[in-house]
């Protein structure tokens, strides 16, 4: 079925002949056309000027369109050094609301946490020193009272004794 088959065929033989002649003439003209030559004569800018771009954009589903993009490929083509070199770091720093950051940060907890570690280490050191002092005092008392001290467990196991 050709595009022309949807036209009504005339019942009159003269009309039918005229219709056949017109179809044949159209076929000859279309066959003789150089499509490239015809396209080169089209003013594409004039056609584009007639397009309502906003109307076309309203009809697009941008979520679907963006969903089909390969963002990794796009980001891979970016020159990040060029982007970063265009940043004004001073301007960015001026935009930072330091007061708000300090307000949101729980400085008391941060100080307590960081100083808590120092306090724990200090307490551990004092405990170790106190234990060592206790051992030294114990040793001197044993010497004054002339007590015999047993060998340390490490020495006993080194000699093979249980």
Q: For residue 76, how far is the Cα from the chain centroid?
A: 12
Q: Are 109 and 115 in contact (CB under 8 A)?
A: no
| Percentage with pLDDT > 90 across the chain | 6
- Indicate the residue among 43, 73, 96 that finishes a domain: 96
Assess whether 19 and 71 both reside in one domain.
yes
Assess whether 91 and 114 both reside in one domain.
no
| Percentage with pLDDT > 70 across the chain | 83
Torsion angle defined by CA atoms of residues 54, 56, 57 and 58, in that order, rounded to the nearest 10 degrees: 90
Q: How far apart are CA 107 and CA 101, in angstroms?
A: 10
pLDDT tens digit sequence for 109-132: 777 777 777 778 888 888 888 888
Angle at alpha carbon of residue 112, lines to 109 and 114, rounded to 5° = 105
pLDDT over 80 (residue 10): no
Q: How far apart are CA 142 and CA 59, in angstroms?
A: 98
pLDDT tens digit sequence for 61-102: 888 888 888 888 988 888 888 888 888 888 888 888 888 877
- Indicate the residue among 96, 120, 148 that finishes a domain: 96
pTM of the model: 0.26
pLDDT of residue 159: 53
pLDDT tens digit sequence for 27-48: 898 888 888 888 888 999 999 8
Supply φ then ψ for residue 99, to 5 degrees. Answer: -60, -40
Give how many domains the chain has, as a whole number: 2
Q: Are 9 and 19 in contact (CB under 8 A)?
A: yes
Q: Is residue 70 part of a domain?
A: yes
Q: Is residue 17 part of a domain?
A: yes
Structural domain range at position 71: 3-96
Assess whether 89 and 9 both reside in one domain.
yes
Q: How far apart are CA 61 and CA 130, in angstroms?
A: 76
Provide the sign of the torsion angle of the four alpha carbons 58, 63, 69, 71, taken in this order: positive
Q: How far apart are CA 2 and CA 22, in angstroms?
A: 15
Q: Is residue 121 part of a domain?
A: yes
């Amino acid at each position: 079925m050709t595009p022309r088959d949807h036209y009504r065929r005339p019942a009159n033989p003269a009309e039918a002949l005229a219709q056949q002649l017109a179809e044949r003439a159209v076929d000859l003209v279309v066959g003789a056309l150089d499509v490239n030559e015809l396209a080169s004569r089209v003013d594409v800018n004039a056609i584009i000027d007639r397009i309502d771009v906003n109307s076309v954009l309203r009809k697009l589903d941008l979520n679907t369109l963006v969903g089909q993009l390969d963002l990794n490929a796009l980001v891979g083509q970016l020159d990040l050094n060029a982007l970063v070199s265009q940043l004004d770091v001073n301007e960015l720093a001026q935009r930072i609301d330091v007061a708000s950051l300090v307000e949101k940060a729980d400085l008391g907890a941060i100080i307590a946490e960081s100083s808590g570690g120092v306090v724990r280490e200090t307490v551990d050191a004092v405990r170790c020193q106190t234990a060592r002092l206790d051992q030294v005092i114990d040793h001197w008392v044993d010497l004054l009272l002339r007590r015999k001290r047993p060998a340390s467990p490490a020495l006993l196991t080194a000699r093979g004794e249980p």
